[in-house]
Every structure is written in structure tokens, then in C-alpha cells.
Structure 1
Amino acid sequence: MIYPARIHKGDTIGVIAPASPVIRKELYRGITFFEEMGLYVKLGKHIDQERGYLAGTDQERLADMHAMFADPSVKAIFCARGGYGTGRMAAEIDYDLIRKHPKIFWGYSDITYLHTAIRQTTGLVTFHGPMVASDIAKADFAELSANLFEQLFFPTKLCYSEAVSPLQVFVPGEATGELVGGNLSLLVSTLGTPHEIDTEGKLLLLEDIGEEPYRVDAMLNQLKLAGKLCHVAGMIIGDFALPTPKKEKPSLSLDQVFQHYFAELNCPVMSGFKIGHCTPNFSVPLGVKATLSTSKKTLVINAGVK
């Protein structure tokens, strides 16, 4: 794996919108957070663009991403928000550019597609965490989420335990492997593409938002039939911010869905992690070694920067 360099106070960071459009006032509220950390912020040239549900054309969004990786003054790249659109760019990304100029790359949700494509093509460790306009700008942005940005300034081994949130064991055990994954619907969208998620021997993180249990069931079934669950080292179930199922429609519970797909796996499975579309949102590096222990109820993750 390629570990990006840590950042320092006084550095310049880049902010881009590779998926859906941003609301300008929310973007600037989020920028203030970084400025208070002693960082300078450079915005992507096309960050104000709107094209329906996209923040500009594929070429404009891709150009901003390439420009930030190529700019020697920019030490880290943060995504303004998710939404939709990153998978449309994946085939045209200059992965050699990223490999030659590795930097901190941060986001989640729709950014899962970029995490997966970049890591599997270049070996770069990237970061799954709250975004500038959609999360950091909120008045209730959690102190824990804010504090976890410190992992970018100092190589930090993270330890998630029940001090953060209650954790539920589906399958007991302990396993060490490379931490991969992210948003379930985005991971499913990689199947059958050149960027299909590789889960063999990995600790697989899953999270999502707005998906009723039957939709989560369908996506987990697709992962299972694609062979993505049979050789994982362990499963880390993050937050699933669900809408209330319609009262007139019978439904399984999310725990029943998880039980169906995970109970017979030959690896540790634990849920309840506040990782994803939630408060707090516990940010983690992807591509690093981590250890999941159900007896200790911990997830210990190696540092993501050098």
C-alpha cells in the first residue's frame, strides 16, 4: 500500500465536488472548520457547477480532481459532499497521476466508488469520513468526529470500542485484515466492472442510508451470489440510517436481514459501528491493516498516514 504524507498546520488542502452539487453557504461553513485548524483551503475550479444531480459535467468534476492531485501546493483532498456521480468518472481517472502524487483523499457515501477504484488500482490508502458541506457544516457536528481529523496530522492507531457505541456480535471471533468497503449500494454498483470490490481476506465495512430492509436484503444477496461474502476475514457493520418501513407493507427487521446473511459466515461479524451517515461519524483509513475482536468488542486500525 501507498501511505499518504501527513499534513501540517499551514498546509493547503483542496476541496472538490466529484458527485452532486453543493450549497455554497454550507460549503463555507465547512471551510471555516479547516481554517480554524490552521489550514488554507483551495476550491476546485468547477465546484459551483450544477448539471442536474451532478456538480458539473463528468469532465469538469474529473478535471478538478486531477488538478488537486497534480498541484504540489495541495497536501490533501477533501470531498464537499456525496450524492451521485463518482462512478461515471472512474474509467477516465488518471491513476498514474494519483500513483505519482499520492495524497490524503477523504470522503464517504458516493465517494466509496472512488475509494475502491483508487485503492485497487494504485494502492493508495484513502479515508472514509465526514465531508465538508454535508457534514462538517452542520451545527450538530460531533466533537468526536472533529477530533478524528487529528489522525491526518499524526500517525495514529485508532481503537473503536463500546466507549463510542454499543456493539452487537453476530458471529464471534477475531481476525486481522485490510480494511475495505464503505457504502453498500456503491459497492454493489462496482460488481461486474473493472473496479469490482475485492473482499478476499479483507475486513469488509458496510454502511448505507435510506434503504429499507428489503433493499438491504437485495444488495447483500447480490454480494453473496457474487462471492463477495464467502472469503472475507471479517464483517464490520456500520450505520444504516433507515426510513421507517411503510406500515401497510410487511417487513423483516434489519437485524433479521443481517442474521440471514451473516450468521453462518466463518468469520467474526459485529454491528453497531457509528461509521457512515450518522452522528458521530467515526472516520477510518481504508487499505490499512485492522483487527476485529468480538470478545474485546474492539476494532483496532493502523495509522493511515506516514
Structure 2
Amino acid sequence: MTRHTLCDTTEGTCGHTDAEHQKMSMVTLFTPAGVVAKAAPLKLAAKRLKALGYEVSIDADALAKHQRFAGDDATRLAALHRVAEQAPSIALATRGGYGMTRLLDGIDWALIARSVEQGTRWVGQSDLTSLQLGLLAHTKSAAGLHTWAGPLACDDFGRAESDGGVDDVTQDCFTEAMDGALEAVGFRTEAGFDGVDVKGTLWGGNLCVLNSLLGTPHMPRIKGGILFLEDVNEHPYRIERNLLQLQQAGILDAQKAIVLGAFSAWRKSPLDRGYTLKSAIEAVRARTRTPILTGLPFGHVPTKVCLPVGAKVTLAVQGRDAFMGWDHF
């Protein structure tokens, strides 16, 4: 049987066969940050994941509510540790929001690392960025540990059909990544980067969350890496400000490449006067020697690939076609 291993969004499809992804794995859905306002998306996500062949378990506190959080801090921290102790095949966050930052100082990082060593694939994005990067910061000596930047249960698998349902590329890349078949992603980038060919540790996630870790023990110190970034509801001037903070902190210059995903759901201002997201990116490019690529299909958008945070990857560009690959695992 031929195994397809490239999620190539330039073709609009993952290129897999469904039969390859019907591997039974235990998926635990948990809520470490923002409250799940309604149960319907969570139930729909569980139903769809079961239809894909997964055995689904919903954490007991996934629907807990305390102010804007999925339970108070103690409840969410206990849920995180409970999932780690159970070490399911896949630990999929229901949603992001805000709340992980409150937990960082209390997380048993050795327990999280042990679950990864036992085979748990922690998956999510947005606020989960702090957990993914914190694990890298606290397990420097543990080679091979990685998590997956990818979809969220409610936001992606729980999206109503009237809102577009589950994106095919997102679903296919998730299933390939989870059963170990995914080895690369491909996307279309801007002209001017033909010939880029670099290797390094893949890290990053949500830009604002990553910046909130600066100066804390939860920020990984990665040099020679490939940094990917995305954000939502942030005007380009705020994106520029955050990127310049990383540049002025020496982080951008220390990387082999920066890869930008989607910066979505922001509104133009009458004060912009021609200033755009492209303007913001160009301003940052002028201040760093590190190539800054765009076009990565990842972020708060329906179509997103899965990315192994903490893995060694190769980024290569031919013309405007960019490919990011890693060892099979």
C-alpha cells in the first residue's frame, strides 16, 4: 500500500486515502482555558471523531464553568494533570480562549513529559501555545518530545454544517498526523524565497501568547529554529509591535526562518491610510536578517495543517512552493 505523507494545501487536498486513517485511538477532549459556552459543539465534535474511527472520551470537567473559564484554576489544572496521568493516544483541547497562563507555574511538567513519552499526542492551538512552549522550556534534556499544533475540538470538529462544517484539509491532516503518517506539509508562499533550505527545531504558535512568555521560565530558549506564528483579532500594527518585540529581544535574528500563518478577523481603521498587514511584515523584514515567509495554512481559520512543535524539521522553497518536512513518527 502506498502511504501518502504530504498535506499539500497548494493542491487543496491532503492526498491521503481514508482507509489509512481509520486506526482506532483513544481521544480525550479536555478544556484547559476558556469556557465552552454550549455543549452542542463538543457533542458534535465527539460524534464526528467517533465516525473517523476514534474512541472518544470527554473529560469530566470539559464543560465546567467559572466566570469566563472552564472551571476555576484548580479545576482546570487538575483536569490537565488527570489527562496526563491517563495518557490517552490523543489529548485534544476543546478550545482556546484564555486561562492557561494562570496554570503555568503549577503544572507538573515532568508528568506532561511522561505522557508524551508514553505516546500521548497533545493537540491544539491558540491558548494551548503556552503549554506547548512551556513543555519545551521545561524539558530541555528530553530529546524527541513534541506536541502538535493543530485543530481544536469545538472550533473545528464541532463547527456546525451551517457554518461550513469540518474543513477537509484540516480533518485529513489531523488524521494523518495522529496515526503517524504525516511527514510534511506544503504551501504556497510569496516570491523571493526560492532556494531557502534550512533545518531547525519547529516552535511557535499564537503570537500574543508566545510574547506573554518572554522573561518567564516558561519561554523556550531556541536558537537556529524555525518559528511559526499566527494570531486572531489583532490589527496589523499590533502584529508589527509584537514581531518587533521579538526582534528587539534577539529572538528573530536567532532563528533560521520565520513562517507566518493566518492573521485573521481584524478590522481596518480609517487611520491606516494604506497601512496593511503586508506593510507591517515588510517593516519587520527590514529589521532582521532572518527570512520571513508567509502563506502557512495555520491559525484561527477553517483550513489548518498539523505541525509537530519541538520536532526537527527541514524547510525548503522551490520557486514559490514551500515544503516543511520531518522524520516519520
Q: Does TM-score exceed 0.5, indicating one fold?
A: yes
Conserved 8 A contact 1:191-1:197: no
1:121-150 deviation line (CA, Å, top 9, x unaligned): 234200011110112211322111110122
Q: Flag the 1:45–1:274 CA change in 2: closer, same or farther, 3 A.
A: same
2:268 maps to which residue? 245
State whether structure 2 residue 169 is matched by structure 1 residue 148: no
- The DSSP-based 3-state class of the residue aligned with 1:38 is coil
1:183-223 deviation line (CA, Å, top 9, x unaligned): 00001000011012434110000100110011112111211
State whether structure 2 residue 314 is matched by structure 1 residue 299: no
1:133 maps to which residue? 154
1:18 maps to which residue? 32
1:94 maps to which residue? 108
Question: What are structure 2's unaligned runs of at least 5 residues?
Answer: 1-20
State whether structure 2 residue 93 is matched by structure 1 residue 79: yes
d(CA) in 2 for partners of 1:58, 1:251? 43
Superposition pairs for residues 262-281 of structure 1, below 5 Å? 262-281=285-304
d(CA) in 1 for partners of 2:317, 2:27? 37
State whether structure 2 residue 68 is matched by structure 1 residue 53: yes
- In the superposition, the TM-score normalised over structure 1's length comes to 0.90
d(CA) in 2 for partners of 1:294, 1:242? 28
Which shifted more, 295-304 or 220-229?
295-304
Post-superposition offset of 1:272? 1.4
d(CA) in 1 for partners of 2:130, 2:294? 22
d(CA) in 2 for partners of 1:110, 1:171? 31
Q: Flag the 1:120–1:248 CA change in 2: closer, same or farther, 3 A.
A: closer
- In the superposition, the TM-score normalised over structure 2's length comes to 0.84
1:3 maps to which residue? none
* Identity among equivalent pairs (%): 27
1:145-174 deviation line (CA, Å, top 9, x unaligned): 110122211342113133xxxx21465532
1:31-66 deviation line (CA, Å, top 9, x unaligned): 112101222211222111111221111111111111
2:55 to 32, 40, 46: 40
1:121 maps to which residue? 138
Q: Flag the 1:222–1:251 CA change in 2: closer, same or farther, 3 A.
A: farther
Post-superposition offset of 1:8? 7.8
- The DSSP-based 3-state class of the residue aligned with 1:259 is helix
- Name the count of aligned residue pairs: 294
d(CA) in 2 for partners of 1:60, 1:35? 27
Question: What are structure 1's unaligned runs of at least 5 residues?
Answer: 1-6
